[in-house]
A and B are shown apart, each in its own frame.
Chain A
Amino acid sequence: MLRPSVPTHTPQPSDEIARLDGIAVDIERTPVLRGVDLAVRAGEVVGLVGANGSGKSTLLRVLATLLAPAGGTGHVLGAALGTSACAAVRPRIALVGHSPALYPYLTLAENLHFVARLFGVTGSDVDDALEAVGLSGAAGRRADHCSQGMRRRAELARVLAVTPSLLLLDEPHAGLDADSRGLVDLVTDRVRRSGGACVAVSHERDRLHCLVDRVVEIVDGHARPLGVGGKVPA
């Protein structure tokens, strides 16, 4: 049986998981985000859309506390962005990015067990997670010998094994076949039910429609609400 990770504080539905006020980010002196305001509450899934290069992935890295903003203020899981407090909350955040965060020479199971040990999660949770995403039979296969879809599923299994308070998904459906796409719903649902929140970036608006509670569009470095209650304009 999968068990949630073990934060000493479980977010309540009324809790604000993340709040950004006027966040600005420059990448190599080029302004990418110029004043993003965004609030993510516990139990909700927020979709991020926008043109290529609009700063969606950059915003995910800010929410992951991996990128300190050049301007504005923000809190993620109670930690002020750009401060040393971020290090303490990072283990409660999961990021599934464009590139798989897997070690190519390790098997899928070894990759997940490695991360689990860094988290202090038991091995049986990893095995359950691999089974949940349909990778039990391929657990012993090296990551560099797996397809993109299998690697994506392994990353979703990693999220299942640790159940973060804030899940950040960058194009979560990329590489997944039609049968596997429900796994993204499974993972976000588990995070949501455990009192966490998700932010998902996707170009596939029809897939996003099924996944999110509301959508925010990034335009010219600013965030603007686009739809509420799963209503995503096509």
Chain B
Amino acid sequence: MTTLAGAPTPLRQCVELAGKDLRAEARAGEALLVTVPFGAIGLLLVPLAVGTDTPLLREIGPGLYWVVVLLFGVLVTLRASTVDGPAQLDLLRLCGVGPGTRLAGRALANTVLLLGVQALLGPVAVVLYDPDLSGWPWLAPAALLVAGGLGVLGALADALAQGLAGRTTLGPLLVAPLAVPLLLGATQVLTAARYDRTAWPWLALMLTADLLTALAAALCAAHLEEAR
């Protein structure tokens, strides 16, 4: 079998693909300059709707934050600026990039962007809701698991909906139900920590959801390529 000497490993290709996506996002600003401000407005509208009842806002604040992160995060994963057209897909295939690597590259870029989205929306939520942050060390693994899980889900949904007229509608419909374990886990991690209960079961739930999503993506990747 003939191979290219010095050809990069799939992991290296995955990093290159993610770097390309992030560079495109830095130019387009679709996720961080358009979607995040809308997310912040979403967080702002809740106190306007329910009133400035500080105890209530403190109670529901973390949950609302994760709802906004998940809903707007879906839009980040389905951003149009990094959609590969048929010519780009052909090019990647001819560069020796397998479908699994392409999906992984997209998921990696999604994860980095979603961590950025969380980092930008987090202070907004803290200012608006003044939540109890006594369990804040648990936020780091929860944020990582949400970003990773949603990143893979978004990449998978984007690949499934690619080329379809209803891509931007179908994508969120595919992702939102599957993201429920992430929403539940992320919200309950903070709640459990606040009441001195162990948060590990909720992190385990999120990790399981992430692993199942990654497994589904790995199994689907080759078939997605064939169907195109």
Give the interface of A toward B (CB within 8 A). 5-9, 61, 64, 66, 77-78, 85, 87-95, 97-103, 105-106, 110, 114-115, 117-120, 142
The answer to the question of B91 belonging to the interface, with a C-beta cut-off of 8 Å to chain A, is yes
Is A90 in contact with B93, judged by CB distance below 8 angstroms? yes
Task: Name A100's closest neighbour in chain B (CB-CB).
Answer: B87
Which one of B21-29, B168-176, B189-197, B205-213 is at the interface? B21-29
- A99 and B27 form a contact (CB under 8 A): no
The A/B interface has a contact count, at CB < 8 Å, of 91
What residues on A are CB-neighbors of B88 within 8 Å? 101-103
**17 further A-B pairs in the complex, CB-CB below 8 A; given A8-B2, A117-B8:** A6-B5, A6-B6, A8-B4, A64-B90, A85-B1, A89-B2, A91-B95, A92-B2, A92-B4, A95-B94, A97-B90, A102-B88, A103-B88, A114-B16, A114-B20, A118-B96, A119-B96
**Contact across chains for A99 and B94 when beta carbons are under 8 A apart:** no
**A97 CA to B95 CA, complexed, in Å:** 15
- Minimum C-beta distance from B17 to chain A (A): 8
Q: Which of B16, B85, B94 is close to A91, meaning CB atoms less than 8 Å apart?
A: B94
Given contacts A8-B5, A118-B13, A120-B8, contact A106 B94 (CB under 8 A): no
CA of A89 to CA of B7, assembled, Å = 12
**Could you give, for residues 76-100 of chain B, a 1 whenever the CB lies within 8 Å of some chain A CB and a 0 otherwise?**
0000010001111011111111100
In the bound complex, CA of A97 to CA of B94 (Å): 12
Within 8 Å CB of B97, what residues of A?
Answer: 118
Beyond A8-B5, A105-B23, A118-B95, whether A99 also contacts B85 by CB under 8 A is: yes
CB distance from A162 to the nearest CB of B (A): 9
Q: Which residue of A lies closest to B25 (CB)?
A: A105
Decide if B23 touches A106 in the complex (CB within 8 Å): yes
DSSP majority for the B interface?
helix
* A residues in contact with B90, CB < 8 Å: 61, 64, 66, 95, 97, 101
B12 surroundings in chain A (CB, below 8 A): 117
| Chain B, interface residues (CB within 8 Å), range | 20 to 34
Contacts of A98 in B (CB 8 A): 87
Beta-carbon contacts of B9-42 to A below 8 Å, as 1s and 0s? Answer: 0001100100010011001100000000000000
Expressed in whole angstroms, the Cα–Cα distance for A142 and B24 within the complex equals 10
The 8 tightest CB contacts between A and B, nearest first, are A120-B6, A101-B91, A105-B24, A101-B87, A118-B95, A99-B87, A91-B96, A105-B27
Select one of B28, B85, B96 contacting A105, CB under 8 A.
Answer: B28
CB-defined contacts of A101 to chain B, threshold 8 Å: 87-88, 90-91
How many Å lie between the Cα of A119 and that of B8 in the bound state?
A: 7
Complex interface: chain B residues within 8 A of A9 (CB): 2
Question: CA of A97 to CA of B90 in the docked complex: distance in angstroms?
Answer: 9
Is the Cβ of A118 less than 8 Å from the Cβ of B16?
A: yes
Once the chains bind, are A87 and B98 in contact (CB under 8 Å)? yes
A66 touches B94 (CB 8 A): yes
Distance in angstroms between the alpha carbons of A50 and B1 in the assembled complex: 35
CB distance from A67 to the nearest CB of B (A): 10
By the criterion CB–CB under 8 Å, are B94 and A117 in contact?
no
Contacts of A117 in B (CB 8 A): 8, 12, 16
C-alpha gap A6/B5 in the complex (Å): 6
Known A99-B85, A103-B20, A105-B81: A87·B96 in contact at CB below 8 Å: yes
- Among B2, B27, B92, B96, find the residue whose CB has the most chain A CB atoms closer than 10 A: B2
